[in-house]
């Protein structure tokens, strides 16, 4: 069964950029207003002028960055990390890999599952070893520099504070990159040696599509909720007009054969013959030309893939028994899209489907290394992001606090994202904080709407304050869900660009500018020698 994290939800770059610009803009404007008010309170009428001068200085500093100075600071950081024995992490890594095979090698009847275990182990080991090292280095570098006053000898040279921040970030990123690269190579070799020859290490390249459902009457609707705790799947009722319809964007080119691959879940409402699996049928559709081409019925292979090859020339017998032939590319794919209807044929039984359960598999497959290094790139991006956050935090608080802040944002903040998303989007059952309190006090069921009136309006209006605060927090706390790409590799799948790589790159880049700016202003506004 595909895990929850493997649902290929394409990242909307434009919407992401708009969201970033809004969050960045709001925070920037609020910060400037606070700065003006504070400086006015402290210095009187010249205060706002000082803020203006500071912003002008910032513009000058950012437009006159010296690559040589940045590289000097980053290479110093790199040397410093090495001489502080950051590379000792390899010893722990080595020990882990020396003994891992004792515990991970099993006599599974399904050796293909071992790949998932090995891949999961490698990625978990790399991330759990490198992340704390990167976090500690990043969070303690600048505070330690300030404590022993080495930074004084840097900032009394023409080095600008933004160069210090960027140089530190690059230096810690470089050492983390080295560690990830070496561990990645070792991990790859280890996986290749561990996996039995009978199990192919491949990287299947899926083309995912959009999904919609028809209900049992054939009208557009939703799938059935059978009470599965995994809400990601909807169920298609067998022996009815209920269906799941996928629309796949097809790449250029016209290969002689298309491979359709699926992995559906079966849900039975009666026992029947337990040795017989559910029957499923694909139907190729061309809604514009009103063509429907049913493909041969097959039995669902539960817990593994169903593969069905479709030739360029597709033949089937129509209701009158006459054989009809269609060209896959001329008759069935229109506007670069292939539409496939999936139905369960057994009455009273259901198949559970989600958007990632069915895809067109691009042939030939890619090498396992291709997907592996893409996923390792995800780990690397996560580490870079943590380095940026750590360095930024270390510019305004001391090492221990910076570490705690970074830890909270990166580790503790992740489980909170789902909750925050629900509250912010209004999907949280039971409403916001005040509404929840009201429901608790009045013992009102959370699914019952609040009674209409002034009280409900007041509660919901007041609830917007924490809700909007949470919206800001959900933008400030990085969402790392897309960065963990090992699941794809473990399943032998390619890491999707729009579903995993693009959002991870976007989140990392999205944090870069605010982190650098916050680090810069934190350093420029603080007295390095303050007692």
Partner 1 sequence: MSAEPVIQIRNLTKIYRDFWGRKKVRALNSLSLDVYRGEVFGLLGPNGSGKTTTMKLLLGLLFPTEGDITILGRPATDVGKNEKIGYLPEESYLYRFLNADETLDFYGRLFDMPAAERKRRTDELIKEVDIEHARRRQLKEYSKGMTRRIGLAQALINNPDLVLLDEPTSGLDPQGSRFMKDLILKLKAQGKTVVMSSHLLADVQDVCDRIAILYGGELKELGRVDELLKEQGVTQIRTDKLTPEAIAEVEAVLAKHNAKVQSVDHPTNSLEELFLKTIRRSQERPGQRYVPEGADAAKPPQS
User: Which residues make up the interface to partner 1 (CB under 8 A)?
Assistant: 57, 61, 66, 68-69, 71-73, 76, 79-80, 83-84, 148-150, 152-160, 527-531
Q: How many helices (H) and strands (E) does the chain have?
A: 14, 16
DSSP sequence for 162-207: HHHHHHHHHHHHHHHHHHHHHHHHHHHHHHHHHS-TTS--EEEEEE
Instruction: Closer to partner 1 by CB, 146 or 205: give it.
Output: 146
Instruction: Closer to partner 1 by CB, 101 or 153: give it.
Output: 153
Instruction: Closer to partner 1 by CB, 164 or 310: give it.
Output: 164
Instruction: Closer to partner 1 by CB, 380 or 521: give it.
Output: 521
Smallest distance, partner 1 to C-beta of residue 42, A: 9
Instruction: Closer to partner 1 by CB, 335 or 529: give it.
Output: 529
Smallest distance, partner 1 to C-beta of residue 404, A: 19
Dihedral (CA of 389, 391, 396, 400) sign: positive
Smallest distance, partner 1 to C-beta of residue 154, A: 7
Q: Residue with structure tokens 């490698």?
A: 122
Burial of 29 (0-12, 13-18, 19+ CB in 10 A): exposed
Find the distance separating the first CA and the last CA of the chain, reported in whole Å.
59
- From residue 170, give the alpha-carbon distance in Å to each of 111, 176, 208, 515: 41, 10, 36, 13
Smallest distance, partner 1 to C-beta of residue 94, A: 25
Instruction: Closer to partner 1 by CB, 203 or 391: give it.
Output: 391
Smallest distance, partner 1 to C-beta of residue 64, A: 9
Chain CA centroid to CA 5, Å: 8
Smallest distance, partner 1 to C-beta of residue 264, A: 59
Cα gap 344→349, rounded to integer Å: 8
Cα gap 349→239, rounded to integer Å: 8
Per-residue tokens: 229: 């705790």
Smallest distance, partner 1 to C-beta of residue 151, A: 8
Question: Which value, in Å, is the radius of gyration of the alpha carbons in the chain?
Answer: 28
Instruction: Closer to partner 1 by CB, 79 or 317: give it.
Output: 79
């Amino acid at each position: 069964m595909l895990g929850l994290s493997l649902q290929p939800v394409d990242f909307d770059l434009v919407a992401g950029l708009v969201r970033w610009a809004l969050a960045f803009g709001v925070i920037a404007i609020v910060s400037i207003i606070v700065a003006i008010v504070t400086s006015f309170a402290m210095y009187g009428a010249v205060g706002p002028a000082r803020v203006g001068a500071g912003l002008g200085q910032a513009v000058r500093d950012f437009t006159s960055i010296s690559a040589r100075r940045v590289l000097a600071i980053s290479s110093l950081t790199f040397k410093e990390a090495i001489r502080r024995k950051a590379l000792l992490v390899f010893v722990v890594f080595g020990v882990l890999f020396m003994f891992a095979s004792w515990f991970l090698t099993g006599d599974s009847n399904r050796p293909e599952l071992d790949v998932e275990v090995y891949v999961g182990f490698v990625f978990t080991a790399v991330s759990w070893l490198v992340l704390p090292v990167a976090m500690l280095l990043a969070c303690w570098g600048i505070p330690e520099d300030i404590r022993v006053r080495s930074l004084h000898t840097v900032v009394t040279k023409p080095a600008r504070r933004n160069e210090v921040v960027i140089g530190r970030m690059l230096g810690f990123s470089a050492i983390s990159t080295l560690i990830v690269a070496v561990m990645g190579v070792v991990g790859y070799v280890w996986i290749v040696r561990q996996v039995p020859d009978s199990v192919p290490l491949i990287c299947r390249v899926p083309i995912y599509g959009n999904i919609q459902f028809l209900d049992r009457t054939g009208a557009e609707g939703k799938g059935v909720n059978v009470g599965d705790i995994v809400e990601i799947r909807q169920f298609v009722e067998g022996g009815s007009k209920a269906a799941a319809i996928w629309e796949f964007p097809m790449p250029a080119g016209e290969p002689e054969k298309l491979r359709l691959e699926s992995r559906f879940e079966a849900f039975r409402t009666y026992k029947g013959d337990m040795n017989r699996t559910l029957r499923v049928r694909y139907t190729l559709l061309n809604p514009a030309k009103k063509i429907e081409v049913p493909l041969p019925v097959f039995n669902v292979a539960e817990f593994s893939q169903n593969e069905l090859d479709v030739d360029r020339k597709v033949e089937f017998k129509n209701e009158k028994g006459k054989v009809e032939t269609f060209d896959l590319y001329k008759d069935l794919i229109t506007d670069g899209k292939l539409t496939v209807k999936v139905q369960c044929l057994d009455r009273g039984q259901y198949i559970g489907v989600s958007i990632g359960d069915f895809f067109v598999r691009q042939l030939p497959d890619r090498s396992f290394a291709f997907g592996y290094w893409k996923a390792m790139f995800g780990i690397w991006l996560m580490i870079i992001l943590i380095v940026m956050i750590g360095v930024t935090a270390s510019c305004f608080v001391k090492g221990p606090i910076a570490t705690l802040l970074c830890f909270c944002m990166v580790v503790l903040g992740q489980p909170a994202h789902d909750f925050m998303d629900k509250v912010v989007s209004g999907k949280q059952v039971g409403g916001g904080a005040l509404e929840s309190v009201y429901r608790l006090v009045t013992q009102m069921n959370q699914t019952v709407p609040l009674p209409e009136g002034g009280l409900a309006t007041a509660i919901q209006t007041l609830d917007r304050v924490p809700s909007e605060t949470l919206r800001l927090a959900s933008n400030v706390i990085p969402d790392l869900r897309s960065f963990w790409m090992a699941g794809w590799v473990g399943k032998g799948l390619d890491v999707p660009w729009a579903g995993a790589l693009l959002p991870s790159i976007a989140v990392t880049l999205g944090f870069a500018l605010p982190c650098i700016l916050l680090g810069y202003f934190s350093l420029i506004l603080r007295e390095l020698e303050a007692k």
